[in-house]
Structure formats: structure tokens, C-alpha cells
Structure 1
């Protein structure tokens, strides 16, 4: 059985805090759709883009050598400290984030969602980036208000002007990086909102690209839809699972190369 091990109480408490105001969300939504950020909404990895602000537009070897598998969040904390030590400011980082291009068709998808009747979609972002990077990009492109919730690593500037990033939570999932299990977030949020609404959503959608988007997609049911970016790790892992363990991955799989591919499928579903 593929999936997450039981969770500690700590990440559930963090999720409680992050979703504490969810009672204010209208409860008449038909569908809930989750989005990843890096290489899903934006066509780059935001963590990689900040390297443009480093001296010579690259990081020193000694810093890159400190990366350990599963501990990327800790590595990025060191990268951000290095950038601050070399004079990189909040304005510099925001400017870089605002220039990251959207993935093909993603703005069309957002415009479609924004134009839908209010009862159709509850829209949530789940990302291993951080609050500053995501908020900077969404506000620049005018889509911040589209998202009912954003679950990501907290990041704030300290008195010295350094962006300090913290892990979102801890967990026991062996598949995910130490600081974030997206399946834990998705399962907890859907369960909470279903209880608050008094009924389930008609369908749950998940739009992603990476290996860490495969884990939350495993929690989807047979009426739900996983939208993996075509030929990216999430898509490959779903394909491999179908081949190795038929029936293990339950959701309908709709690969996408453009956000317009997602729009086409959603148009059919909202018309049902």
C-alpha cells in the first residue's frame, strides 16, 4: 500500500491554525481544486530563481554542498541567509518573483475560475515554496483573491532584512520532505471543510507537477481528478503506479501541457 504513515498530532495542530478561519468560506461550493505553485502555476522553481540575486548569479560550491535529501527547506534557509549577507533586499527578491512567467495557459485557467459562478470552485494552493514568494507573484498578476487558502512554509523578514523561512509542519510520511507532507494538508483540509459544510464536495481536483504532488493525489477517490503536468515527475509516478499496482491510484488522471487543457476538462464537468 502506497501512502503516508499516521501523522503526529503536531502537524494536525498546525493545519488547524492555518485553516482556522475556514468557517468564513461559503459552504455552497460544488468542487474543490488544489494547485501546486512551482512549475505548476509558475513555469520555474521560485527557489532556483532567487539565485539570480546572488553575486555572479550563482551560489558558492560550499553552500550547494550543504544540501541533504529531504531537507531542502533547511538548505533554502541557508541560501536566504547567504543572500541577505550579500546585500540582497526584500525589494530585490520581490522583483525576481514578479518576473517569473506563468506556465502556458495558466492565466487562462485562472480567468476561467474567476469567471465561474460563486458556487462552483473552492480554490486552494498547497506549495513547498514560501509565503513571500507566492504572495509576491499572485499579487503582481492580480490573482491573490482567487485563493481561499494558501498552505506553504511561513516566511517573514526579520529586523536585519533577512527573509526567514520556517518549516510548515513535521510529519511521519516517508515519501515527503521533512517540512511538508501535502497529503496530510489535503486530507485534513477536505475532512474539515466537509464537516463544516455538512456534505462532501462533488469532486476534488489536484493540479501539480512534482514528485511531492503525487503523495496528495494518492488521497483522491475514483470520482476525483488528478491533473499532472505532462511528462513531469507527478505524471511519471502515476503512470508507474498504474503499471506496477493496478487499482492503487484511484483518481481519474488528466495530464496537461497547458492550463487550457485543464479548462477543457473543467468546462465539461461544470456542465454536468
Structure 2
């Protein structure tokens, strides 16, 4: 097991589209979606969209078939499998939902690559309708972050993951990959030994570029699946080389201390 934790966003990072928009468009409800989008948080709108799908006879199987067709660059799948094989701890932090993400990852056969998925709850109720709920129940209390949508602050999620991991191994280093405005907040919580990989010319990239000094982590941009794989694997390899060099140096020092010294009388 390596000392590397890799956190992926899902929409427009692992996949090459927004899953909410993809499902809505593919099922023929684009106009309804666009009419209501300016009036409420996206997470709340998706719960309404699920009601609309159900009332028009769209089944869970219909939604699953659409999810199976989501576009993804094969090089991203390769990067995920390679990072997992090298012992990295892969996690997802996404403003999508558990049903969409689980369905897609299982279809590709890469669910086992991820140790944790943090996203909005999504489940099928007794009526056979998909329910989409907020990660943070903002009807009860606000998460208090002005940078993030009311249903999810990714920064708070990263804080929790960092705290949990640091109690067990303080040498872990984070690599965070994301594209959206919601990925800016967690970038501010990364440490100087960590790495931020924003997608170039997307909202997270634009926000970081306004004042890169606010992000303590090293910033490495990427444009597409090919560049994502190249940058990510280079970072992983460099971290592992550095860790191996430190381990060898430490072992050499210990061995030199244990060598008996001959004393002449």
C-alpha cells in the first residue's frame, strides 16, 4: 500500500460530461430541466426530475441504460486501474449521486478500485422511483461554506478524510482531481506536500488562476483523458521514487549506526 490518496471528482473529470445533464438529455427532458435550473439548487432539481421521469413512465432500467452510455476516455479507466494496482487509495467526492456513480462504475467493472464514494444519496423507493437527496441536509442546517452549493461542501469532506487518515498515517499525500467551482474549496485545504489537478479552462482552474498563491499544493493542470493519465502517473511515480529514496537513506543510516567499531588498545 502506497502513501498516496487520490480523490476524483466524477462529472467532467472521470466521465466526460455532467451526469445529471446527460441523463436528462438522453431521456428527452432537456427543456423541463433548463426551465427550472435557474430557480433552485441542482441537487433539488434532480429530485424533481426523478419525479418527472417516473410520472412519464421512465423506469429504473431506462435510467440505467442511459448511464451505461455515458462517455469516458479509455485512458482515464487505464489511469484508475494503474493507480489502484500500485496501491494508491482512490476515492470519489462528487455532487452527482450514489445511484448514478455506482451504476456507471459497476458497468465498467472498476467499482473495487475505490475505497470510498462521497456523494448525494440516491436510491430506488418502494414505488420504483429514484430519489435524490442532499449530502448535507440544508433544510435542517447550513454547512456554513460560502463557496459551495447548499447541498455539499467538498472542502468539509476533504477535511474529514484528511483528519481520519492523519490519525492512522501522517505521511499520506493527496492528489485531488476536479473541474468545477465546487472543487475549488477542497483545493484550499490541501497541504504543501499535496497536489491539485484542475481541468484546464474549467471553473476550478479559472478560480485557482485568479490567485494561485492561495493553494498550498502543487498545481498540475490537464485538458483531456490522455493528459490526465500522463500527469497523474508521473506524479505517482515521482512520489514513489522520492519515498523509496528516503527509505533507502533511512535504512543506510540505521545500518551505519549498528556497525561495530573496533577499538585498539
The residue aligned with 2:128 is 161
Indicate conservation of the 8 Å contact 1:53/1:88, yes or no.
no
The residue aligned with 2:217 is 251
Alignment equivalent of 1:179, drawn from 148, 151, 170: 151
Indicate conservation of the 8 Å contact 1:51/1:58, yes or no.
yes
Structure 1 segment 214-253 matched on structure 2, within 5 A: 214-242=184-212, 247-253=213-219
Does the alignment pair 1:97 with 2:67? yes
CA distance in 2, matches of 1:256, 1:69: 32
The residue aligned with 2:238 is 268
Kindly report structure 1 stretches of 4+ aligned residues shifted beyond 3 Å: 58-61
Offset, 1:104: 5.9
CA distance in 1, matches of 2:73, 2:22: 15
CA distance in 2, matches of 1:160, 1:53: 23
Alignment equivalent of 2:100, drawn from 133, 137, 144: 133
Mind listing any 5+ residue stretches in structure 2 that lack a counterpart? 243-265
Taking a change above 3 Å as real, the CA distance of residues 70 and 188 of structure 1, as seen in their structure-2 partners, is: farther
CA distance in 1, matches of 2:85, 2:2: 14
CA distance in 2, matches of 1:69, 1:240: 28
Structure 1 segment 63-142 matched on structure 2, within 5 A: 64-68=34-38, 71-103=41-73, 105-116=75-86, 118=87, 121-142=88-109
The secondary structure found in structure 2 opposite 1:114 is: helix
Q: What is the CA deviation profile of residues 101-123 of structure 1, one whole-angstrom value per residue up to 9, with x for unaligned ones?
A: 2146211211211321x3xx111
The residue aligned with 1:34 is 7
Scaled by the length of structure 2, the TM-score of the pair is: 0.83
Indicate conservation of the 8 Å contact 1:36/1:126, yes or no.
yes
Cα RMSD, aligned residues only: 1.7
Structure 1 segment 50-61 matched on structure 2, within 5 A: 50-54=23-27, 57-61=28-32
Offset, 1:68: 4.2
Q: What is the CA deviation profile of residues 213-258 of structure 1, one whole-angstrom value per residue up to 9, with x for unaligned ones?
A: 111011001111001112211111111122xxxx322110000123
Indicate conservation of the 8 Å contact 2:198/2:219, yes or no.
yes
Taking a change above 3 Å as real, the CA distance of residues 46 and 206 of structure 1, as seen in their structure-2 partners, is: same
Larger relative contact order (CA 8 Å, sep ≥ 6): 1
The residue aligned with 1:25 is none
Offset, 1:194: 1.6
Does the alignment pair 1:146 with 2:113? yes
The secondary structure found in structure 1 opposite 2:237 is: helix
Indicate conservation of the 8 Å contact 2:165/2:172, yes or no.
no
Q: What is the CA deviation profile of residues 75-96 of structure 1, one whole-angstrom value per residue up to 9, with x for unaligned ones?
A: 1111111011111111111111
